[in-house]
Amino acid sequence: MTGEKRLVLLGGGHTHLVVLEALARGRLAAAEVTIVAPEPVQLHAGMFPGYLEGRYTLEQASIDLRALAPAVGARFLTGAVERIDAGARRIVLSDGTALEFDVASAAIGGRPAGLDLPGVSQFAWFTRPVPRAVALRETLDRAAAAAGPEPLQLAVVGAGAAGVEVALAARARLDRLGASRAVISLFESTHLLLRDRSPAAQDEAEHALARAEITLRLSTGVTEVGPGHVRLGGGRILPADLVIWTTGTEASPVFRASGLPVDTKGYLLVDDDLAVRGAPGLFGAGDAVAHAHFPRLPRSGAHAARQGAVLAHNLARALGGQAGARRYTPAPRSLALLSTGDGRAILSYGGFATTSGWALSLKDRLDRRFLGRFHRLSGGTPFSVQP
């Protein structure tokens, strides 16, 4: 019976927010629903640049899982996953807590790529989780206030969507703080800017960086971060008062260590219905997984959110012991919006891209609509943008 079964959701990102919404709407039911995440407050990654720039408060750009979970009939646990025993249907957290489940879903994302490089974990700054995001903005403010006659040197490592947005948002914030002489460099180990986007989107991003006087260094990997410097692949050392690490993610080691099916990079392998092969009752979604039939699917919040409705349906079916699972089929093209820190955004769709103020308005509206759904569920204040 559905009402006698236990559902565990590992991770509090886009996909599981949609599952919690389905729980609130009565689209799935279980005797006990538990959501586990390392931090009680989940920052919406797409809104972090706006938070860094100063357009949003932390409350506006995040979801409090502690408030949301009980409001929709679930319980929240702060914790990190240590091991998933699919055969015993048991999850062990890093503090030793053991959770039994009948049905579970793993959407725990990954960890920053390059974290094991010398000095990265010690000296670089990260955009997630929330405590690190808050500390980064405060550190940027302090660095701007303490800048002497020499301009502040800021290095952003990783020129994907996150790196481009963070570099541009940092420029906007530093300009507001009177540190417009700051030197900002964006490093990318490959030869492509925004390598998952179209050439048109890449051109728009390159123009935005040029307007903001941000130096783009392609084919330039950072191999070490020190107190006040970065070391490049060829051994050259450059000054850096602040280093922001935005290299994307790599697979969590949890899945391989748990003996679960993974791809060559260690991502949890799922079928079209988001079920884990050979592990009845276990599902996966978001940045944590690789799709068996879509191995090149980009890891993005847009795909994770769209997987939510499919996952919620299939979890409900699994809880009820019913057939009729839905399959997730990615759209061949998706809308992407990237803020440029100057009151505009880059809109790209397929091979088309443009930069405009109305694109930023659209991004604001979509982000507000998405988070507003969960703010209302948890009884929070409706989303509003700071003037």
pLDDT, tens only, 286-303 = 889 998 877 677 666 666
Tell whether the model's pLDDT for residue 387 goes beyond 70: no
**283 located within any domain:** yes
Tell whether the model's pLDDT for residue 383 goes beyond 70: no
pLDDT, tens only, 243-289 = 999 998 899 999 999 999 999 999 999 999 999 989 999 999 988 99
**362 located within any domain:** no
| 222 CB-near residues (< 8 Å, 6+ apart) | 114, 117, 155, 157, 187, 189, 230, 231, 232, 233, 243
Contact yes or no for 34/6 (Cβ under 8 A): yes
Q: What pTM did the predictor assign?
A: 0.93
- The verdict on 124 and 235 lying in the same domain is yes
- Its domain, for residue 305, covers 2-38+79-110+251-330
Residue with tokens 């409706």: 382
Type of residue found at 145: A
- The verdict on 233 and 313 lying in the same domain is no
Tell whether the model's pLDDT for residue 304 goes beyond 90: no
Tell whether the model's pLDDT for residue 173 goes beyond 70: yes
**146 located within any domain:** yes
- The verdict on 224 and 236 lying in the same domain is yes
User: CA 22 to CA 25: how far, in whole Å?
Assistant: 5
Here the CATH number for the domain that contains residue 285 is 3.50.50.60
- The verdict on 129 and 193 lying in the same domain is yes
- The verdict on 166 and 276 lying in the same domain is no
**363 located within any domain:** no
**353 located within any domain:** no
**219 located within any domain:** yes
| 33 CB-near residues (< 8 Å, 6+ apart) | 6, 7, 8, 9, 23, 73, 74, 75
Please report which confidence band the pLDDT of residue 35 belongs to, taking 50, 70 and 90 as the band edges: very high
Contact yes or no for 219/190 (Cβ under 8 A): yes
- The verdict on 256 and 243 lying in the same domain is no
- The verdict on 233 and 259 lying in the same domain is no
pLDDT mean over 25-32: 94
- The verdict on 163 and 231 lying in the same domain is yes
Chosen domain end from 212, 247, 282 = 247
- The verdict on 96 and 23 lying in the same domain is yes
Tell whether the model's pLDDT for residue 221 goes beyond 70: yes
- The verdict on 219 and 302 lying in the same domain is no
- The verdict on 146 and 224 lying in the same domain is yes
Alpha helices (H) in the chain, listed in sequence order: 14-24, 48-53, 65-71, 120-123, 130-146, 161-176, 199-211, 254-257, 301-319, 357-377
Chosen domain end from 282, 299, 330 = 330
> Phi and psi (nearest 5°) for 163?
-65, -40
CA triple 31-273-279, angle to 5 deg: 65
Considering its fold, how many domains does the chain have in total?
2
**90 located within any domain:** yes
Chosen domain end from 330, 347, 378 = 330
User: CA 149 to CA 238: how far, in whole Å?
Assistant: 18
Instruction: Tokens for 23, please give them.
Output: 């729980």
Tell whether the model's pLDDT for residue 130 goes beyond 70: yes
In the chain, what percentage of residues exceed pLDDT 70?
A: 95
pLDDT of residue 170: 97
**386 located within any domain:** no
pLDDT of residue 381: 52
pLDDT of residue 95: 96
pLDDT, tens only, 204-214 = 999 999 999 99
- The verdict on 29 and 106 lying in the same domain is yes
